[in-house]
């Protein structure tokens, strides 16, 4: 039996990624074709779920905007509480 139950959460780092590359949520929204609400919710870590199709749009759009390869590790963070 586990005595300490570790809680694992996955959080977005999208806003930090955009800021590090001199881009805005607005630029991502306009270029990605995703809804404004979806982009801003992700940037504010308010969206709990996301379809892989949307993640693909985010990655491909960021690659076009930054000229750099983007991986899920660039955009997501695993947080462990326990």
**Would you state the CATH architecture of domain 7-81?**
Orthogonal Bundle (1.10)
Higher pLDDT, 19 or 51: 19
Domain ranges of the chain: 7-81
- What does the pLDDT look like over 2-34, one tens digit per residue? 456 788 888 899 999 999 999 999 999 999 999
What is the reported pTM? 0.82
The SS3 call for residue 12 is strand
CA distance 81 to 62: 30
């Amino acid at each position: 039996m586990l005595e300490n139950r570790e809680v694992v959460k996955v959080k977005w780092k999208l806003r930090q990624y955009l800021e590090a590359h001199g881009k805005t949520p607005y630029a991502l929204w306009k270029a990605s074709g995703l809804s404004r609400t979806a982009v801003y919710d992700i940037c504010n870590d308010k969206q709990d779920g996301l379809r892989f199709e949307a993640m693909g749009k985010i990655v491909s759009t960021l690659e076009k905007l930054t000229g750099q390869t983007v991986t899920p590790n660039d955009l997501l963070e695993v947080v462990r509480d326990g």
